[in-house]
Amino acid sequence: MTYPAPRMLIGGVWCAGETGRTQAVVNPATEEVIGQVPLAAPGDLDRAVEAAVAGFAAWRATPVAARTAILRAAADLVTARADRIARVMTLEQGKPLAEARGEALRVADALRWDADDARRAYGRIIPSAGDTLLSVRHEPIGPVAAFTPWNFPAGSPMRKIAAALSAGCSIVIKASEETPGTAVELARCFQDAGVPDGALNLVFGEPAEVSAHLIASPATRLVAFTGSIPVGRLLAAAAGAAMKPSLMELGGHAPVIVCADADPVKAARRAAFAKFVNAGQVCTSPSRFLVHESLVAEFTAEFVRAAEAVVVGDGLEEGVTMGPLANERRLKAMEEFVSDAVSRGAAVLTGGHRLDRAGYFFAPTVLAGVPADARILLEEPFGPIAPIIPFDDLDEALAIANSLPYGLAAYGFTRSAATAERLVTGFEAGILSINHCGGSVHEAPSGGVKSSGYGKEGGPEGLEGYLITKRVSHLLED
């Protein structure tokens, strides 16, 4: 299969940008240009917003049972086309084909969940004065402007699209220019399932230009973003200036605490597996490993064994378990993190370098003896580097874990129910896993605290952000 030519979807029509501007799409495993993605001009964005306004009118008027049926049909198409979607994803993002296929199948299930949950967006009748009927109703907020990154080319766009369309909203989504093909494949599934023209619009473009234009548009009623904290702050400020609500799923620097009573081998294997998924390019990736000093030697030895067992290569090749980083920028960032840590006294136990081959490949890396002022412990690495730090007191470990402005995910390992509860109450994070490093699930909410954002995706809470609450007081008269 060759890489399909990306296009934008505006008002039900697949199109290039009106100025003809494009940006190269690069296969990160080969560094070869595999396509050109069109970049939207202001006129394209205006047409997309106009289409979303018309699409919203048609979609919100569609009975919820009919909306659910259409969205479930779209989910079935995603499932049926999972192999194709996965191959496109691997070509443009690099993750192993099995990971990509798993992502496609998960987003289909997430869409089914949201579509069904829309049928449970209940209002209520409130007892009041005898001549008044008092009720609360939930209605779609309106056209949504959404922005998603490259690390999960299906997962990130689908979270926004599924919640918006299930709630009865329309959406203009700007997916990543680095991974446009996957978003195009998803949009085709919705179009082929019968979503009305204009209810879903897909654009690409210069991020700052597109976000400023869409957020400033009077027709946009909600801003939804997944990405870095610095960009999230800018978009949230722009939305706030326009008095528009926003949902922000931002970065993390997830701590892992391995308590004195944990099984160090199991903890190391489970943590290492999670660390190297998607080459560590996951907002919730475990990235600071705090291990009780009595277990640190055994934990570290097992973690190094797991890291050295990772098969790095082109995601299309059989047996590969970790693909390349997304781009040259990420490679340079990894080199800088390692260099900084080593200059401050850290030891590289395995990896620590880019691979000597074409493509943006970096060896799975484990660091020991990392001082507290090393950049790898202060900044989100977003790559396959694992710093291991010993501790001797759980309160000390929690203080270190909570010392950063991040608060997205956290992980703990213990065989004590009492200690597990200390971790649950002690971690400052919106997502917490005990004795494993679980990822996001569609039936439960995900989201951060502190600088890692606000609002939720997944579960009933994920739909709430796309709804308004309307109080109705009806005086009953003859």
Residues recognised as catalytic: 249, 283
CA distance 465 to 167: 9
Q: 164: which 2 tokens?
A: 């918006």
> In this structure, what are the phi and psi dihedrals at residue 291, rounded to the nearest 5 degrees?
-120, 130
CA distance 204 to 191: 18
Q: What are the residues whose beta carbons fall under 8 Å from the beta carbon of 194, sequence distance 6 or more?
A: 70, 73
CA distance 265 to 445: 30
Q: Are 338 and 330 in contact (CB under 8 A)?
A: no
Q: What are the residues whose beta carbons fall under 8 Å from the beta carbon of 293, sequence distance 6 or more?
A: 390, 391, 392
CA distance 362 to 372: 24
In the chain, the N- to C-terminal Cα span, in Å, equals: 69
For 8, 68, 298, 400, 473, the CA distances from 396, given in Å and listed in that order, are: 51, 49, 21, 6, 54
